[in-house]
């Protein structure tokens, strides 16, 4: 039995666990993979106070910090269901059930991938998913943005201020982004938008991305673009499938939270990329994790006198 059980071991979960444990309450983390998305990240240059680090190094520091406290860390386990009886119960895919007086959800999110040859091989070596994170690494170079929705067009506008040239490739015959964003993007001299473009391959020299190939869906013609980077902006999927029906989710499937990190289920809090919090970043997830932990503590001290 835990006072606070954190589900998910990314930056949000690690931060929540440290804040909870520092209150002297029984704290546990159950996670499929401690570190989360940070494990897949190469250069991190926006973790404030650390000028530059690498994902695996930051994860090692996170783990050390967590284990410095009395936190029980259960790894390689996936949560499958949440139930609220007298206690909150997390059922794992293994069938085991963990019980806690309060729960902090932080199962993160994953970028939708293009699933074309070269994408996996050049991930972090030219294939990128986060313009706030990796944009400055492509200063003065040419990049493509895949996807013409709001996040794609926002990324193109953002990158246009940093890189030499941006080509937006949209699969459909029109952009889905808000009109005002489209107008802004079209007004920029170094942004080109190509419609009906199906990316078929990311190409590279074995070390880094050197370009991509796409098919013009109206003519069937194959084209090659020379590029240093490919920003894939076709959606961020919250890892919340296992929560459907048990609490309020947004249209995008994010757990709806308020400014205290409370979900619609009493005693259950959430933080990080899986929630409705705007902007998905390490430092934001960590801040949200600490908010959720302090709210859980507040909840527990009120609940215990009933």
Q: What residues are labeled active site?
A: 130, 133-134
Determine if 78 is a binding residue for ligand FAD (CB under 6 A). yes
From candidates 19, 122, 129, 299, binder to ligand FAD by CB under 6 A: 129
Taking the complex as a whole, the smallest distance from the CB of residue 134 to ligand FAD amounts, in Å, to 7
Contact code string over 171-210 relative to ligand FAD, x by CB under 6 A = ----------------------------------------
Strand partners, 5: 28, 103
**Which region, judged by CB under 6 A, interacts with ligand FAD, from 106-114, 192-200, 204-212, 216-224?**
106-114
The residue count of the chain comes to 306
Minimum distance from residue 12 beta carbon to ligand FAD (Å) = 3
Is there binding between residue 41 and ligand FAD (CB under 6 A)? yes
- Given CA atoms 129, 135, 137, 139 in this order, what sign does their dihedral have? positive
Q: Is 114 in the site for ligand FAD (CB under 6 A)?
A: no
The residues facing 31 across adjacent strands are 75
Count of residues in contact with ligand FAD, rule CB under 6 A: 38
Q: How far is the CB of 167 from ligand FAD (least distance, A)?
A: 21
If one asks whether residue 36 binds ligand FAD (CB under 6 A), the answer comes out as yes
Q: Does 108 bind ligand FAD (CB under 6 A)?
A: yes
Question: Considering the complex, what minimum distance in angstroms separates the CB of residue 114 from ligand FAD?
Answer: 14
Nearer to ligand FAD, 147 or 175 (CB): 147
Under the binding rule (CB under 6 A), the answer on residue 12 touching ligand FAD is yes
Among 143, 282, 292, 293, binds ligand FAD (CB under 6 A): 282
Q: Site residues (CB under 6 A) for ligand FAD?
A: 7-13, 30-34, 36-38, 40-41, 44, 46, 78-79, 106-109, 111, 129-130, 133, 239, 242, 272-273, 280-283, 285
């Amino acid at each position: 039995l835990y006072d606070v059980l954190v589900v998910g071991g990314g930056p949000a979960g690690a931060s929540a666990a440290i804040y909870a444990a520092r209150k002297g309450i029984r704290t546990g983390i159950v996670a499929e993979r401690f570190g989360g998305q940070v494990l897949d990240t190469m250069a991190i240059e926006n973790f404030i106070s650390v000028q530059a680090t690498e994902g695996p190094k930051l994860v090692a520091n996170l783990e050390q910090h967590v284990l410095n406290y009395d936190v029980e860390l259960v790894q390689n386990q996936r949560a499958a269901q949440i139930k609220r009886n007298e206690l909150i119960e997390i059922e794992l895919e293994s069938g085991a059930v963990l019980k806690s007086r309060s729960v902090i959800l932080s199962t993160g999110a994953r970028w939708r991938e293009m699933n074309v040859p070269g994408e996996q091989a050049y991930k972090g070596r030219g294939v990128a998913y986060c313009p706030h994170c990796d944009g400055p690494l492509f200063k003065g170079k040419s990049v493509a943005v895949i996807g013409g929705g709001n996040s794609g067009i926002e990324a193109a506008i953002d990158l246009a201020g940093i890189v030499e040239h941006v080509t937006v490739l949209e699969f459909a015959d029109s952009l889905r982004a808000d009109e005002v964003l489209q107008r802004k993007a079209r007004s920029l001299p170094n942004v080109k938008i190509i419609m009906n473009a199906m990316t078929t391959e990311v190409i590279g020299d074995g070390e880094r991305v050197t370009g991509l190939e796409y098919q013009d869906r109206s003519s069937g013609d194959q084209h090659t673009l020379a590029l240093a980077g490919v920003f894939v902006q076709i959606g961020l999927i919250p890892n919340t499938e296992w929560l459907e029906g048990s609490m309020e989710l947004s249209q995008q499937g994010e757990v709806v939270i308020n400014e205290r990190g409370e979900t619609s289920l009493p005693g259950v809090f959430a933080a990080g990329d899986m929630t409705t919090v705007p902007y998905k970043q390490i430092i934001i997830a960590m801040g949200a994790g600490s908010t959720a932990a302090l709210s859980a503590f507040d909840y527990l001290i009120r609940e215990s006198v009933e």
